[in-house]
Amino acid sequence: MLTFPIYLDNNATTPLDPRVLEAMMPYFTGKFGNAASRNHAFGWHAEEAVDYAREQIASLINCSPKEIIFTSGATESDNLAIKGVFEMYASKGNHIITTTTEHKAVLDTCKHIEKIGGKVTYLPVNAEGLIDLQQLEEAITDKTILISIMYGNNEVGVIQPIREISRIAKKRGVLFFTDATQAVGKIPVDVEADGIDLMAFSGHKMYGPKGVGALYVRRKNPRVKVTAQMDGGGHERGMRSGTLNVPGIVGLGKACEIAQQDMEKDTARLSAMRDRLEKELLTIEESYVNGSREHRLPHVTNISFKYVEGEGLMMGVKDIAVSSGSACTSASLEPSYVLKALGLSDDLAHSSLRFGLSRFTTEEEIDFAINHVKEAVAKLREMSPLWEMFKEGIDLNSIEWAEH
Amino acid sequence: MAYSDKVIDHYNNPRNVGTLDKAKNNVGTGLVGAPECGDVMRLQIEVDENQIITDAKFKTFGCGSAIASSSLATEWLKGKSVDEALSIDNMDIVEELALPPVKIHCSVLAEDAIKSAINDYRVKNGLPALEMPKSHH
């Protein structure tokens, strides 16, 4: 039985796994203690639960439980990592290297760094969405303190060459931070093997709750420190003050445990469904997958349908919940900066749909989505003067469009 | 974006989608907008010997409001004389479809498309082109 709309926007957020909810429930009511209360059983139970979650998380990403700093989510983790390193290592340098396709939480934080006197290099990506390692190496100066490059992209799912990046960082004595929000819990992420110094991730992208995330901060080889961005009780080894969100942390821990246990199975199932969805949608004429198909998260595909306008397309696919590459909240259309960075023209960027599958997505839902999108594209093209011109062999670039 | 029922109805059941023979002398074609702006409208009218619009067709690349605006325009055009058609104002479309402020440009585009189709018809039939006061937005 299908219920509408069908949710295929799991890069935005995932539903909470019922097993996670079950683990969290006692910590809202009976076990409500403050994990920082050292004098009574309420506090001890909460602290015990937090410590257990730390172990579950550490096990998933192969680090020590002591290296996990709990935050309110990936945006806070991104801010803490970049601003915290910038402040802590100010005597060493003021230069940060990142990419043009990062999440806004990284890009806007980098803009802030520039405002307070830092220097930021934004590496471009190729048509596949991947950075050039040689360009990265050439961008490093003796003032470079941090390389901030995301693990898997939220819009196109492209996975950057993390191990090669970390090798370069290590060789040049630069710290490596990765926003791994879309990757942790979806693909094997191992901070040791991957050579990561700091890593941001979040609960609600991996079937955990919203409002909780973590920053991994390496303690050995090298020992990394970040300057706290909030003053208070000195929680989390002094790097992040604030009473711990115990139920949220328990949820994040449980989500990590399930991810570790089910990853192989989930990945096999999700990538097979994603590939089927993609293969079917590519039978539509003039449709294109955006970004690398080789280096990609297993549950994501981003496809552009030429000669169809994005907002019209979103209206046509109203029975599925997906994201569009077009942020048309006003009269001025703003195509996705990620797709633009991949070299897409405005019209192709506008007409893209992002599909993000989850462990709860069913084959039946994919069947429906395939037909739904095919019908919507066909209907809109029937109505599109551009499609008619394309079919008549008219080069749209040869037309002098009315001033607009 | 919440659309009005009328916009949704036009989007789901667009009236008069299609193509008239633009080579014919009694067919006027207007093509307005640009792909990179996210909307392109093509509106066509067929005019009889009494200057009455007997048929109107459109094709639109754009959002639901753009599709609805051009669909509505073709409905209104049929049966009107060419002169009467010139009096269709974009604000009439805004009102009829309850377009929100951010979608007013869709109605302006539809009015432009009407005027542009009429101009094409006029020029083909030896009449001077009319000014298009609202075409810049």
Is B129 a domain residue?
no
Question: Which pLDDT value is given to residue A326?
Answer: 63
**Amino acid, single-letter form, for residue A149:** I
Is B111 a domain residue?
yes
DSSP H helical ranges for A89-175: 104-115, 133-139, 162-171
Q: What is the rounded distance in angstroms from the CA atom of residue A91 to the CA atom of residue A227? A: 13
Of A345, A388, A401, Cβ closest to residue B59: A388
Is B130 a domain residue?
no
Q: Tell me the pLDDT tens digit for each residue of B86-106.
A: 999 999 999 999 999 989 999
Distance (Å) from the alpha carbon of B31 to chain A's nearest alpha carbon: 8
Question: Which pLDDT value is given to residue B31?
Answer: 96
> In the beta sheet, which residues pair with residue A7?
A321
Question: Which pLDDT value is given to residue B133?
Answer: 62
State whether residue A345 is helix, strand or coil.
Answer: coil
Is B78 a domain residue?
yes
Q: What is the rounded distance in angstroms from the CA atom of residue A111 to the CA atom of residue A333? A: 23
Is B67 a domain residue?
yes
Is B28 a domain residue?
yes
Question: Which pLDDT value is given to residue B136?
Answer: 46
- Is the CB of residue A319 less than 8 Å away from at least one CB of chain B? no
Token pair 């008549």 is at which residue? A392
Do residues B55 and A305 lie in contact, with contact meaning Cβ atoms separated by under 8 Å? no
- Is the CB of residue A311 less than 8 Å away from at least one CB of chain B? yes
In this prediction the pTM is 0.93
Between residues B129 and A359, the one the model is more confident about:
A359
Q: Do A402 and B61 touch (CB under 8 A)?
A: no
Q: What is the rounded distance in angstroms from the CA atom of residue A366 to the CA atom of residue A22? A: 28
Provide the domain limits for residue B69: 5-124
Do residues A55 and A65 lie in contact, with contact meaning Cβ atoms separated by under 8 Å? yes
Distance (Å) from the alpha carbon of A347 to chain B's nearest alpha carbon: 5
Note down pLDDT in tens along chain A; length 404 residues.
899 999 999 999 999 999 999 999 999 999 999 999 999 999 999 999 999 999 999 999 999 999 999 999 999 999 999 999 999 999 999 999 999 999 999 999 999 999 999 999 999 999 999 999 999 999 999 999 999 999 999 999 999 999 999 999 999 999 999 999 999 999 999 999 999 999 999 999 999 999 999 999 999 999 999 999 999 999 999 999 999 999 999 999 999 999 999 999 999 999 999 999 999 999 999 999 999 999 999 999 999 999 999 889 999 999 999 998 765 444 456 789 999 999 998 888 888 999 999 999 999 999 999 999 999 999 999 999 999 999 999 988 888 886 55
Which CATH number characterizes residue B116's domain? 3.90.1010.10
- Is the CB of residue A346 less than 8 Å away from at least one CB of chain B? yes
Q: What is the rounded distance in angstroms from the CA atom of residue B14 to the CA atom of residue B75? A: 10
Is B63 a domain residue?
yes
Q: Do B38 and A333 touch (CB under 8 A)?
A: yes
Q: Do B38 and A385 touch (CB under 8 A)?
A: no
Q: What is the rounded distance in angstroms from the CA atom of residue B100 to the CA atom of residue B96? A: 11
A/B interface, count of CB pairs below 8 Å:
90
Per-window interface: A 189-228 vs B, CB < 8 A: none
Q: What is the rounded distance in angstroms from the CA atom of residue A59 to the CA atom of residue A253? A: 10
Token digits of residue A390: 């394309």
Token digits of residue A380: 């809109």
Overall number of domains in chain B: 1
Is B134 a domain residue?
no
Q: Tell me the pLDDT tens digit for each residue of B53-83.
A: 999 999 999 999 999 999 999 999 999 999 9
